[in-house]
Structure 1
């Protein structure tokens, strides 16, 4: 039951979480995580925005007059990343990558390294010479942090944290460039009106008359081979579960185990419980007799009578209780105690089951009489 509750809770929360994030960075969405506001502002400034979900559509629009925004580059397979890099590296346009991981950058931006620890998204100062950043001023950046290799010339490292840039611009041939965003939060509707987020977004996305908004899809037919370009999409099912869920489930399992041990622990020796009503032994005997009679179980009744009598006789005759039900041990001792008795001890104590109730009553009476004789001798 406990495991079922945990699984059900996980499914419900995952569904709620997925429902709230399915439209993240979508220019058609007016939700807090969407980017419809910046798309409308770009439209007012004459920038044509096109939303695509396949790599073929995205690469077909590249050119010197086009900005290509890739919202989830980590979803692309290795072959897709290679095709994208070939199409954008010499197009002369601008390519923006939202939070690309180290594995993704090895193909899309060779020579760029990612810091081991991400930074919290907060208002940061530009501290660079990139015009779009200096004009916007403080903006909500952070997330993944990048550093360019010294061999890469013409790069701009903006909004730094501990010496690493959360916005890194790399120049490409034909006056193009690639912009790495450590966190795309400043593009979202809920953050656009804060700090210089709107100014930075409009300058980065509106530097060219055409904007292609690429939302990678898992259904893209170009996604051939094993999907696993991102550090976040390898490792199977467990790698997709947030660490907090794994630790929380482990703690709940430990708590359940401790509760089970606590409930199962004995606090002391067993004690007899006083019955609320005293029941006479005769009533118990009569009740059991009625049950035997109702079930027509004369064999069980006769066996119970003989067994109880043999046990009592063994203590009177000095026969060990373990041999009370053995004819070879009990009968000689009984014959020695009652040498002149006319009773057939073997038939009485070990004989067949009476064929009717009258015979069963007679057996009980004879067993009582035998026990009285032994006690009186």
Structure 2
């Protein structure tokens, strides 16, 4: 007894085919993992982030803290609002690096603690979410690029520092007592407002003068020291979503909690998705023939094409392929040129003359309508084979 065996066809999935189809995705995934590990390794030596006075990175602010220390100003880093407000006083400068991250309740608490302290509050790039509470009467205008600008004001700190890398958020006031410097299109990017006593608030449109890699450019170091070094103590407040006060009563929208730049990131991801879709999409246009890299058995090619026709329910194409091939083989058997194979007026009379007593209708078999179902298509193939055999043997 012969054991039954199932042979693989040309469309059966093999490990080699699977590897060919998926190696591009696997390579992209490996590159993504490698890039993530590399970025993590690059940042592993710096546990702190941007504008952190403990960070030696290019966007850190350790250099400013060291210069302030040499001038006798102590710097204390805090990450909670309770710590920041507890240290507020007449001999303290409070620097808030991300004022827009504070909830409305936190903003009111901070404003209450600093309003009567006679100290200084420095806000880095505050926008509409925080200005109404922390700097009433001041509005944020569209941002501009950061570049060296002249003071264009009479503030002693600015005039002594001279040109500095300023820009970012611009500010405007409605009859508010304020001094603006470093104008961009007529609006200041550095604004100082005063309250009762000696308390004042400084709005800095961009943090660039505090970065390590830009401190030695223009008058950045001088301006940073004069803004942060007017009191013997500096409280460097780095707001965090992990602060307990951030979840107690303050309500912020989802988009307000997302870091700036999320719109550009979303746009870039959408563009990458479109490009990937175009890359993976099927090419439009006529098919281009090319030499096959390997020889494929005729039975496999026939089976593969038959399955494609069956999947597409293309009985018309399958029937025409069968009829066209039969006509092409019959024409030379009947002593006719190849061009006559597709002419019913020439081919059908020749077949009828060769087989006058045949039980087939040559015209219906060779040029007839599309079979109604798969069974009719199979019968057509059998009848075409029978017709060709009869012509060969006649």
Q: What is the TM-score of this pair, normalised by structure 1?
A: 0.65
CA displacement 1:298-342 (0-9 Å, x = unmatched): xxxxxxxxxxxxxxx9x93247878xxx9xxxxxxxxxxxxxxxx
> Residues of 1 paired with 2:145 and 2:296: CA distance?
71
The correspondence for 1:204, drawn from 227, 236, 252, is 227
Task: Tell me the equivalent position of 1:68.
Answer: 94
> Residues of 2 paired with 1:277 and 1:48: CA distance?
81
Residues 221/251 of structure 1: CA separation in 2 closer, same or farther (3 Å cut): closer
> Residues of 2 paired with 1:14 and 1:54: CA distance?
31
Residue 74 of structure 2 corresponds to residue 32 of structure 1: no
> Residues of 2 paired with 1:182 and 1:120: CA distance?
10
Note the C-alpha offset of 1:148: 1.8
Residue 267 of structure 2 corresponds to residue 241 of structure 1: no
Moved more, 252-261 or 98-107: 252-261
CA displacement 1:213-254 (0-9 Å, x = unmatched): 1111121111125663797535xx9x86351x4343333433
Q: Is the 8 A contact 1:232 1:240 kept in 2?
A: no
Task: Tell me the equivalent position of 2:109.
Answer: 83
Structure 2's unaligned 5+ residue stretches are 1-21, 300-354, 366-370, 376-385
> Residues of 2 paired with 1:64 and 1:75: CA distance?
25
Residues 261/205 of structure 1: CA separation in 2 closer, same or farther (3 Å cut): closer
> Residues of 2 paired with 1:227 and 1:11: CA distance?
39
Residues 278/147 of structure 1: CA separation in 2 closer, same or farther (3 Å cut): closer
Per the alignment, in what secondary structure is the counterpart of residue 201 of structure 2?
strand
Q: Is the 8 A contact 2:48 2:55 kept in 1?
A: no
Q: Is the 8 A contact 2:146 2:166 kept in 1?
A: yes
Q: Is the 8 A contact 1:159 1:165 kept in 2?
A: yes
Task: Tell me the equivalent position of 1:172.
Answer: 195
Residue 74 of structure 2 corresponds to residue 51 of structure 1: no
For the aligned residue pairs, the C-alpha RMSD in angstroms reads: 4.3
CA displacement 1:18-47 (0-9 Å, x = unmatched): 948952111111221111111112112211
The correspondence for 2:168, drawn from 130, 137, 143, is 143
Task: Tell me the equivalent position of 1:301.
Answer: none
CA displacement 1:137-180 (0-9 Å, x = unmatched): 11111111111221x22x11011101111100000112110000
CA displacement 1:66-98 (0-9 Å, x = unmatched): 100001111111111111111112211000000
Per the alignment, in what secondary structure is the counterpart of residue 283 of structure 2?
helix
> Residues of 2 paired with 1:230 and 1:173: CA distance?
36
Note the C-alpha offset of 1:184: 1.4
Residues 222/130 of structure 1: CA separation in 2 closer, same or farther (3 Å cut): same
Residue 270 of structure 2 corresponds to residue 250 of structure 1: yes
Task: Tell me the equivalent position of 2:310.
Answer: none
Note the C-alpha offset of 1:15: 9.0
Task: Tell me the equivalent position of 2:252.
Answer: 228
Residues 171/10 of structure 1: CA separation in 2 closer, same or farther (3 Å cut): farther
Task: Tell me the equivalent position of 2:286.
Answer: 266
Per the alignment, in what secondary structure is the counterpart of residue 317 of structure 1?
coil
CA displacement 1:337-364 (0-9 Å, x = unmatched): xxxxxxxxxxxxxxxxxxxxxxxxxxxx
Residues 276/56 of structure 1: CA separation in 2 closer, same or farther (3 Å cut): closer
Count of residue correspondences: 290
> Residues of 2 paired with 1:255 and 1:77: CA distance?
39
Per the alignment, in what secondary structure is the counterpart of residue 245 of structure 2?
coil
> Residues of 2 paired with 1:271 and 1:3: CA distance?
26
Higher-Rg member (1/2): 1
> Residues of 2 paired with 1:40 and 1:21: CA distance?
18
Residues 266/16 of structure 1: CA separation in 2 closer, same or farther (3 Å cut): same
Task: Tell me the equivalent position of 1:106.
Answer: 132
Task: Tell me the equivalent position of 2:239.
Answer: 216
Residue 152 of structure 2 corresponds to residue 121 of structure 1: no
Task: Tell me the equivalent position of 1:317.
Answer: 359
> Residues of 1 paired with 2:145 and 2:37: CA distance?
23
